[in-house]
Structure 1
Amino acid sequence: MNAIIAVKQYITKMVDDCGSGMKVLLMDKETTSIVSMVYAQSEILQKEVYLFESIEQPNRETMKHLKAICFIRPTQDNVELIQQELQSPKYGFYYLYFSNRLGKQALKAIASADEQELVREVQEFYADYFAVNKNLFTLNIPCCYQNMSWKRDKLDRSIEGIAALLLSLKKNPVIRYQQSSDNAKQVAEGLKRLINKEGALFDFRKSDVAPVLIILDRKEDPVTPILNQWTYQAMIHELLTIRKNVVDLSYVPGISKELKQLIFSGEQDEFYDKNLYRNFGEIGQNIKSLMEKFQEKSQRSQKLESIADMKAFVESYPEFKKMSGTVSKHVTVVSELSKIVTEQDLLALSEVEQEISCQTSHSNAVEMINKVLHNEKATDLNLLRIILLYALRYEHHSGNQLHRFLDVLSRRDFPDQYKKAIQAVLQYGGKKSRGSDIFGGNTPLSITKKFFKGLKGVENIYTQHTPLVQDVLDSLVKGKLSDGQYPYATGSPVRDRVQDVIIFIAGGATYEEAYSVQNFCSINQGVRVLLGGTYVHNFKRFVKYYIS
């Protein structure tokens, strides 16, 4: 189960199936991003696609010599745009590919508009989701709730997106959901109705052990999106923000033009692909090795003592240039990350976060927070993290000192919106909203020390926290996932060891959870896990869209 390959195969097929000749790829806003996250523009150009256009752009130039490959979502607006396009065509022929199921009425409307009979093909290609990593997908819905319940259109979009994922992977899974969440139940029941309605589409050859889809709600684990992160991809998103595989560094003083917008895709960057889940200290060492290789290569390249040397240099130049760009990109990013870590004293603050979220002593937590409140390097956002963790963990503790902490924060002009967020998070993900004890009151959390080698002056940092996703996977694979807490919307209990698992988090997933999934699969050989969510959060976005 590989989200990137599933989407990429569709794109490759639609470009190849229309034959040779010059082509234009006509997309909508969402499908443009879906394609760009799995395919580099240079790769598509090699397939005779010479133009990329938006279906929403009305004033496109007429070029009858081009074939139009249209890849769009089957929305009412898009169907109407296709009708308008066919009534006043700008290209020679049209190959229509919809990213999800196309209704019969929509198909009739398109056929009626094709008076010149220019449409050569109409197909459903189920690439209706954004493939972030091999094991991570998102629907890119930043705000799916209103008053803690689904917005109707976002619920429908989520059901459609998950259905497309299942169809692209050829899976008809047993569906389970988090019993304590009505939001999770609505997704599960909606998928059940859709699969029953479209039975023929989901009639795949059955495997020996049925795949399992588990629908979770973000509120069941509000802790994971709050914590600072220390693996490369998660850290970049936390401190710099990744939007559809792009990091914007245009705000960095003196940065060169080519480094203002950086693409972070494992498909296009081998170093990034190999280091997604490495911790920060390892990244520093690996970039150093990359630079040494580059320097070694560049020095060899200067020895142009013969025609053969020159020929070898010219032939290797594209790789040489690509390596140069890779070195520059990652050195720039790690430099920026290091600056933020130092300026905001994140190593010290992160250790406090981990201690509060994983240890039990209230007095120790109070002592640590008292020190943090007087740390001049601590930003308001990082103070909010720590206070939120305290508020969640010690929500009903008899000695709760939340009000005193807020009084202290008031004297340093702590933003009012952050104060409101502290109460909102208790409503959103407090004890009454959750079905289990994420702080380990019922089941002890394993605590692991991880050493960060390579960061000067830093001996180690604790990464004690385990996302709920990992606990769910552990229980599922061992056959111990509670039928009461995670009931079945479809299918019956799977007694054999599961092999394929898809987890979807309504309310958004995180890169830390993607790392947990990767780590889980490396330990549990033979188990394949794909993680998805309505969005991929960092703390700032989590607060903005779900708490404040």
Structure 2
Amino acid sequence: MSSSKYKAAYVYFCDVCPDIIFNKLKSCHSKAIKKCKEVNISFFPKESQVFLLNVPKAFHLLYSPDKAVNKETAMHTMAQQLVTLCATLDENPGVRYKKEPQDNAEELASLVEENLVQYYRMDEKDQFKTKTQTQLLILDRGFDPISTMVHELTFQAMIYDLLPIENDTYKYGTDNSTGKDKEAYLDESDELWVKVRHKHIAVVLEEIPKLVKEISSSKKETEGNISFSRLSDIMKKLPHVRKQINKQALHLSLAEDCMQKFKGKLEKLCKAEQDLALGTDAEGQKVKDHMRVLLPVLLNSDLDNYDKIRAILLYIFVENGTTQENLERLIQHVKIESNGDVLKNWTHLGVPIVPKSTQRKPARRDRSKEETFQLSRWTPVMKDIIEDYMENKLDAKDWPYCSECSATWNESGAVSARQKHNTMPRDERKNTSKLIIFVIGGITYSEIRCAYEVSQNSKSFQVIIGSTHIITPKTMLDDIKNLNKENVITTNE
């Protein structure tokens, strides 16, 4: 550092500064450094309740069958990133992991607990921070394969599944002034996006025209039923509310694009997927022969291979595996003989493929009385987990702790009065209760939606959900297909 050019330096580390670097700073430029601080932000806050570690390559490193792959470094990096998340939230959570289907969750949970102990011993503000009431749940991606493959019809999940969204950017229409494609960035700065992203596409299609009517200054223009083409005309005639109208136009275009894809070929497919995923039809009757549901999908020439592969996988998942002979026959149906790995490699995530598993599947919560759209009957396992946690129903045998059980965890959200740092009123404490969930190997938009839904319904919990990266069905299939290839890392969302 040149003393003639800079008077002082302020050094910030987004992660823990290694001792070797800290000692080097002290020996070289200690007088010139006015401030040296660890900020602990080595994670990416994707949304208000969603965080990412932005390490999609971890999927290949942790689930590859190649024994030569060194996953230890990736594990330590993720553990440290999760500790910085806890530090940012000012939490020292109880760390738990899902025992099955793989052992990555157990290994990562142990590393996180070790790093938390080390961090809070080093923390100059609170050297002996006791465990807070928050819990951190860690899972391997194989815990719910169905939610990674089924077509979701809620707005955000549907958009990222069906439309060519790159880096959260959607291109639509043409800007008359420049002749270039219009672009919109889908994030939480758009209030309308936040309002509709987790709603079913049918609800979105109803709400957007209503919102246009609300801000229209000409009631005659919006009387009666409004077609999408008429809405576009109305928008052009309202320059005084153009900014608000542009947002509606964006989401209207998104909804239209999704429905074009859906009406073209996916409506019947979605019905078959729901029957396969749940093992029951829309009337609640048990599906006696899953192959009868799958076969029309395989014979449908309008569907592309990816859609057929997704349906085959749902069939295998609901059957809890299949025979080698049947698997080969299914591979021939979709003509992927040279690349059957997209089906076979799920076994590396602990998902039964060949042979059939004799182990019974975990029981699901009864949702038969909940109101749902017929083509959206499947509920991600994630929602069961969150609700079980809230009701203190997570079995410690299936969800072991990595540290001694604290009194604060005896009941979900129940806080011990003996804890010095929890002296706030009971109602205020409830409002600050958190549950942190981390999925190794990617989370789906439907699982993200579950975290928001339960948080909104409970009012006393905030669910914070995160992963190495966000997956769509296509990126998940690409990652699965490449699992046994060397040094192949696909680009994920």
What TM-score do the two structures reach when normalised by structure 2? 0.76
> 1:264 maps to what in 2?
186
> 1:160 maps to what in 2?
80
Instruction: Say if 1:396 and 1:285 are closer, same or farther in 2 by CA, change over 3 A.
Output: closer
> 2:388 maps to what in 1?
475
> 1:28 maps to what in 2?
none
In structure 2, what is the Cα distance between the partners aligned to 1:274 and 1:504?
A: 25
In structure 2, what is the Cα distance between the partners aligned to 1:226 and 1:543?
A: 9
Displacement after TM superposition at 1:183 (Å):
0.6
Displacement after TM superposition at 1:373 (Å):
1.5
Deviations 1:422-443 (Å, cap 9, x if unpaired)? 111234242499xx99985644
Match of 1:216 among 119, 130, 139: 139
1:288 has 2:209 as partner: yes
Match of 1:183 among 77, 95, 104: 104
Match of 1:522 among 430, 452, 456: 456
Displacement after TM superposition at 1:474 (Å):
2.4
1:131 has 2:131 as partner: no
Alignment of 1:41-60 (within 5 A): none
User: Comparing both structures, which one devotes a greater share of its residues to strand?
Assistant: 1
In structure 2, what is the Cα distance between the partners aligned to 1:299 and 1:143?
A: 55
Give the conservation status (yes or no) of the 8 Å contact 1:143–1:546.
Answer: no
What TM-score do the two structures reach when normalised by structure 1? 0.69
2:475 is paired with a residue whose SS is: helix
Equivalent residue letter for 2:258: L
Match of 1:350 among 270, 283, 297: 270
1:536 is paired with a residue whose SS is: coil
Match of 1:465 among 378, 381, 389: 378
Displacement after TM superposition at 1:334 (Å):
2.0
> 2:113 maps to what in 1?
192
Equivalent residue letter for 1:247: T
- Which deviates more from structure 2 when the two are superposed, residues 227-236 or residues 145-154? 145-154
Displacement after TM superposition at 1:532 (Å):
0.7
> Any unmatched runs of 5+ in structure 1?
1-85, 301-316, 452-459
Displacement after TM superposition at 1:407 (Å):
2.8
Instruction: Say if 1:249 and 1:182 are closer, same or farther in 2 by CA, change over 3 A.
Output: same
In structure 2, what is the Cα distance between the partners aligned to 1:399 and 1:108?
A: 59
Equivalent residue letter for 1:121: K
Deviations 1:397-444 (Å, cap 9, x if unpaired)? 68984443333323xxx4743x221111234242499xx999856446
1:166 is paired with a residue whose SS is: helix
Deviations 1:20-49 (Å, cap 9, x if unpaired)? xxxxxxxxxxxxxxxxxxxxxxxxxxxxxx
> 2:488 maps to what in 1?
none
> 2:425 maps to what in 1?
none
Displacement after TM superposition at 1:342 (Å):
2.7
Deviations 1:462-497 (Å, cap 9, x if unpaired)? 322222222222222222211111111023062123
1:286 is paired with a residue whose SS is: helix
In structure 1, what is the Cα distance between the partners aligned to 2:128 and 2:241?
A: 47
Give the conservation status (yes or no) of the 8 Å contact 2:53–2:468.
Answer: yes
Instruction: Say if 1:127 and 1:396 are closer, same or farther in 2 by CA, change over 3 A.
Output: closer
Displacement after TM superposition at 1:198 (Å):
1.9
2:250 is paired with a residue whose SS is: helix
1:146 is paired with a residue whose SS is: helix
Alignment of 1:97-496 (within 5 A): 97-110=12-25, 114=29, 117=32, 119-144=33-58, 145-146=60-61, 148=63, 151-180=71-100, 181-200=102-121, 201=123, 203=126, 210-240=133-163, 244=167, 246-249=168-171, 259-266=181-188, 268-296=189-217, 320-343=241-264, 345-359=265-279, 363-396=288-321, 401-410=326-335, 414=336, 416-417=338-339, 419-431=340-352, 442-443=363-364, 445-447=366-368, 460-492=373-405, 494-496=409-411
In structure 1, what is the Cα distance between the partners aligned to 2:46 and 2:322?
A: 40
In structure 2, what is the Cα distance between the partners aligned to 1:132 and 1:195?
A: 23
Displacement after TM superposition at 1:395 (Å):
3.8
Equivalent residue letter for 2:87: L
1:514 is paired with a residue whose SS is: helix
Instruction: Say if 1:335 and 1:504 are closer, same or farther in 2 by CA, change over 3 A.
Output: same
- Which deviates more from structure 2 when the two are superposed, residues 141-150 or residues 197-206? 197-206
Q: Give the share of equivalent positions with the same residue, in percent.
A: 20
Give the conservation status (yes or no) of the 8 Å contact 2:15–2:41.
Answer: yes
In structure 2, what is the Cα distance between the partners aligned to 1:274 and 1:213?
A: 28
Displacement after TM superposition at 1:296 (Å):
2.6
Displacement after TM superposition at 1:160 (Å):
1.8
In structure 1, what is the Cα distance between the partners aligned to 2:133 and 2:166?
A: 34
Equivalent residue letter for 1:372: V
Equivalent residue letter for 2:104: N
> 1:312 maps to what in 2?
none
Instruction: Say if 1:183 and 1:208 are closer, same or farther in 2 by CA, change over 3 A.
Output: closer
Give the conservation status (yes or no) of the 8 Å contact 2:140–2:439.
Answer: yes
Equivalent residue letter for 1:475: D
Q: Could you say what the CA RMSD is over the residues aligned between the two structures, in angstroms?
A: 3.7
Instruction: Say if 1:198 and 1:207 are closer, same or farther in 2 by CA, change over 3 A.
Output: closer
